[in-house]
Amino acid sequence: MDLDDLIPDSEDETKTVADKDRNSACDSKSLEHSMETFHSFLRSDKCRSILALVGAGLSASSNLPTFRGAGGYWRNYSPIDLATPDAFYSDPGLVWQFYAYRRHMALQAEPNSGHRALARLSQVHTVDFMTITQNVDDLSQKAGHDLQKLLEFHGSLFELRCTEFSCSYKSRNFDDPLTSALDVTKFDRDLPHLDPSQLPRCPQCGGLLRPGVVWFGESLPLQPVDRADEFIVRNGVDLILVIGTSCSVWPAASYVDIAKNQGGKVAIFNTEVDSELNDWQFIGDCAKTLPEALEMEPI
Ligand code: BV8
Ligand code: ZN
């Protein structure tokens, strides 16, 4: 059986499966009520396999701006405009200044209690658990998340890759600054135009290095996607935790429907209300709601 077998072919089949005995928190009178029903589901033997889909909202309380929130802009640039191969090849200096800033911010940031709650869940062995993270800030790793249960779908700010076609150099690198021209503490109000010679170079071939993140228009890395699909085919998904994500970036966002389409329950942890009918919605800072939802005797 592979992943396609799990996705029903008809819309109404999805509807029926998804709507069956739904306990929507939209109707719930209070957070306490949905927290109570959430905890009883979490403790039941119906909840044996949990998938988490994590986005930038999980790191908001660690003072890292989200992509689409107010703080998401950098020097009047939207991250979406800079997180593309075209942007990099037309002005590698500007894109490297953007990533140098984000590396610097992420290195200053500490994991919050939302990261730590997920890390604790990853250490529990009574449920099958996997986290798909869209985040590139390394905060889940810093929080002690079991790395075997953490899939970086969009790469990492702290991975460097050579841009030379024939060179396979890549490395994990936490240096700040990477070069003197990328010293964020010395950035002026007006960013200087950087020459490629001032940017990180490959120690193997001298080529230009790039941030090891997945840009828009680039394919996701095969290994984490394969591991996510293997997890789902092997265990199914009884519950998907959708944490701090606008679900606006694909194909990561598709995992909510994949979970729903096989009868998995959906718990949203977001500051905004989701118009979709979900089983639970915990509105608020996920650094608070997630530990409360997951902070229980070992399950
Ligand atoms: C690809 C790394 C295929 C870089 C990122 C359909 C299918 C396939 C692709 C597409 C498709 N439709 C469109 C596409 C193209 C594109 C895409 O999805 N575009 C979007 C804009 C429509 N997808 C791609 O290009 C992907 N590649 O599909 O390849 C292909 C390729 C070639 C040829 C053929 C096919 C690659 C996408 C990866 C892009 N890289 N990051 C970097 O970081 O610089 S994505 C980027 O956005 C981040 O990873 C981020 O995590 C992600 C998603 O955003 P969110 O995490 O959700 O953050 P956002 O700000 O949007 O929302 C935050 C949420 O948190 C909000 O809901 C907010 O309310 C909430 N919140 C805020 N504070 C809190 C909170 N919640 C709780 N508590 C709080 N305190
Ligand atoms: Zn190289």
pLDDT tens per residue, range 217-270 = 999 999 999 999 999 999 999 999 999 999 999 999 999 999 999 899 999 999
If you ran DSSP here, which 8-state letter would residue 209 be given? E
User: How far, in Å, CA of 156 to CA of 147, rounded?
Assistant: 14
Mean pLDDT on 17-26 = 37
User: How far, in Å, CA of 271 to CA of 228, rounded?
Assistant: 26
User: How far, in Å, CA of 142 to CA of 288, rounded?
Assistant: 18
The preferred substitution site among 216, 225, 243 for testing ligand 1, maximizing ligand atoms within 8 Å of CB, is 216
Q: Which residues have CB under 6 Å of ligand 1?
A: 55-57, 60-61, 66-69, 72, 79, 83, 134-136, 154, 213-220, 244-246, 248-251, 269-272, 285-286
If you ran DSSP here, which 8-state letter would residue 118 be given? H
Do 253 and 247 touch, CB atoms closer than 8 A?
Answer: yes
Atom of ligand 1 nearest to the CA of 61: 80
The preferred substitution site among 53, 61, 64, 67 for testing ligand 1, maximizing ligand atoms within 8 Å of CB, is 67
The preferred substitution site among 250, 270, 281, 288 for testing ligand 1, maximizing ligand atoms within 8 Å of CB, is 250
Do 114 and 58 touch, CB atoms closer than 8 A?
Answer: yes
Ligand 1 atom 13, closest CA: 250
List of residues 6+ apart from 77 with CB closer than 8 A:
94, 98
Quick one: pLDDT at residue 167? 98
List of residues 6+ apart from 27 with CB closer than 8 A:
none
Quick one: pLDDT at residue 33? 65
- Please report, rounded to a whole number, the percentage of residues in the chain having pLDDT higher than 70: 87
User: How far, in Å, CA of 236 to CA of 128, rounded?
Assistant: 9
User: How far, in Å, CA of 41 to CA of 241, rounded?
Assistant: 13
Q: Among all residues, which ones are annotated catalytic?
A: 154
- Convert the pLDDT of each residue in 85-128 to its tens digit: 999 999 999 999 999 999 999 999 999 999 999 999 999 989 99
State both tokens at 99.
């990533």
Atom of ligand 1 nearest to the CA of 56: 56
The ligand that comes nearest to the alpha carbon of residue 155 is: 1
- What b/e readout covers 211-237, taking b as 16+ CB neighbours within 10 angstroms? bbbbbeeeebeeebbebbbebbeebbb
Higher-confidence residue of 128 and 29: namely 128
